[in-house]
Amino acid sequence: MIQFHAYKMLQTADGELPLDVSLTFEKGQFIAIYGNSGVGKTTILRILAGLTEAEKVDINVGDDIWDDSLKRFHLPVQKRSIGFVFQDFALFPNLTVKENLEFALSKNDSTQIVSELIELMELESLQNSKPQNLSGGQKQRVALARAIVRKPEILLLDEPLSALDDEMRFKLQDYILKTHEKYQLTTLMISHSIAEIFKLSDKVIVIDKGKISKQGTPNEVFAETKISSKFQVTGEIISITKSDIIYVVQVCSGNNIIKVVATEEEIIDYKIGQKVLVASKAFNPVIQILL
């Protein structure tokens, strides 16, 4: 079991914000951290990794103590069994892909894990390239592989997929899931994508203004929405056009634009740019297979 408690005053653009978070999770769980930007999500990961100090920190990982603010004990980053994937990858530009992975080895480690990870992440053809010649998705795979070389107990992923296009995201989600299971990691991942959280995590923690506002399974946290309709999209109104006696409202959600019919009485309340939930019964939509 991993117990985490931290208190830290954050300096944000809107002034001071106290981060006060207590978390308990089991080994082997996949935890997603969800919330708006600037509410302290990254700081939580960094405190857990020992990269950021806090006024009060208590971290127990199994029987090991990583932080004990009462005894003023702080286990250095290097001694913590963690793998950290940074938002901007932080690959070493002077080393090739393979050397980046080998750098993570300790003195007497066998290099077998490196070849294993290169194979698992399908990096064979890239192993002698320098990071600057890799695409975003490739860098991400290298960063993930490098974080796992030491077979850490806890893998920390700081919004690892936010910069990638959808196709790459889906592939990398599979890589993350594969490594999480294969190396029996406890994984904490910051994510903004609800779909991603549903796909990957056992538990989701919603952070709002430095506090946990909600936690539970993705189903408990996200699925229990306000309306029973199962076909739901959130998006922004981009246009409202009159057509005959009704109005067509265009809503942009991610890369998709959908159209919804509304009555004259309803559109009075709608504004361009407004965030809306579009819902329909699951019984209506039809599915067509794309080539």
Partner 1 sequence: MINMEPLWLTAKLALITTIILFVVAVPLCYWLAYSRFRFKAVIEALISLPLVLPPSVLGFYLLIAFSPENAFGKFLSDYFDLRLVFTFQGLIVASVLYSLPFMINPILSGLKNLPPALQEASFTLGKSRFTTVTKILLPNIQASLLTGIIMTFAHTIGEFGVVLMVGGSIPEETKVVSIAIYEEVESMNYHNANVYAGILFAFSFLILLTVHLINNKSRKTTLY
Partner 2 sequence: MNILTGTISKIQSHEGISLIKVRSSNVIFSSIVLDTPETAHYLQVEREVRIIFKETEVIISKDLKANISIQNQLSCRIESIKKGVILSQINLMHEDQIIKSIITSNACEQLDLKENDSVMALIKTNEVSLSAHD
- Which part of the chain contacts partner 1 (CB under 8 A), choosing from 62-70, 82-90, 120-128, 281-289? 82-90
- Residue 277 makes contact with partner 2 by CB under 8 A: no
- Which part of the chain contacts partner 1 (CB under 8 A), choosing from 23-31, 76-84, 159-167, 256-264? 76-84
- Residue 49 makes contact with partner 1 by CB under 8 A: yes
Look at residue 108 and give the partner it binds from partner 2, partner 1, none, a contact being a CB closer than 5 to 8 Å depending on partner kind: none
CB of 52 to partner 1, least distance (A): 10
- Residue 9 makes contact with partner 2 by CB under 8 A: no
Q: Identify the residue among 103, 124, 184, 259 touching partner 1 (CB under 8 A).
A: 103
Rounded distance between C-alpha atoms, residue 205 and residue 32, angstroms = 6
Rounded distance between C-alpha atoms, residue 289 and residue 139, angstroms = 32
Look at residue 150 and give the partner it binds from partner 2, partner 1, none, a contact being a CB closer than 5 to 8 Å depending on partner kind: partner 1
Look at residue 132 and give the partner it binds from partner 2, partner 1, none, a contact being a CB closer than 5 to 8 Å depending on partner kind: partner 1
265: phi then psi, degrees, rounded to nearest 5? -65, -35
Residues in region 106-125 near partner 1 by CB under 8 A: 106
Rounded distance between C-alpha atoms, residue 61 and residue 4, angstroms = 8
- Strand 82-85: give its sheet, edge to edge: 82-85, 154-157, 186-190, 30-34, 203-208, 211-216
- Which part of the chain contacts partner 1 (CB under 8 A), choosing from 2-10, 56-64, 84-92, 119-127? 84-92
- Residue 223 makes contact with partner 2 by CB under 8 A: yes
Look at residue 202 and give the partner it binds from partner 1, partner 2, none, a contact being a CB closer than 5 to 8 Å depending on partner kind: none
Q: Which two tokens stand for residue 11?
A: 């300096």
Q: Identify the residue among 95, 194, 246, 278 touching partner 2 (CB under 8 A).
A: 246
Q: Each residue of 151-181: b (16+ CB within 10 Å) or e?
A: ebbbbbbbbbbeebeeebbebbbebbeebbe
Beta bridge partners of 198: none
- Residues, the chain: 291
Q: Is 135 helix (H, G, I), strand (E, B) or coil?
A: coil
Give residue for tokens 């938002």: 87
Q: Which helix (H) or strand (E) holds 25?
A: strand 15-25
Q: Which residues contact 150 (CB under 8 A, 6 or more apart)?
A: 81, 83, 104, 105, 106
Q: Which two tokens stand for residue 78?
A: 């290097």
- Residue 4 makes contact with partner 1 by CB under 8 A: no
Beta bridge partners of 277: 234
- Residue 259 makes contact with partner 2 by CB under 8 A: no
- Residue 283 makes contact with partner 2 by CB under 8 A: yes
- Residue 238 makes contact with partner 1 by CB under 8 A: no
Applying CB under 8 A, the residues found at the interface with partner 2 are 219, 223-224, 226-230, 244-246, 261, 263, 265-266, 279, 281-284
Q: Could you list the residues that contact partner 1 (CB under 8 A)?
A: 49, 51, 76-80, 82-84, 86, 88, 90-94, 103-104, 106, 131-132, 146-147, 149-150
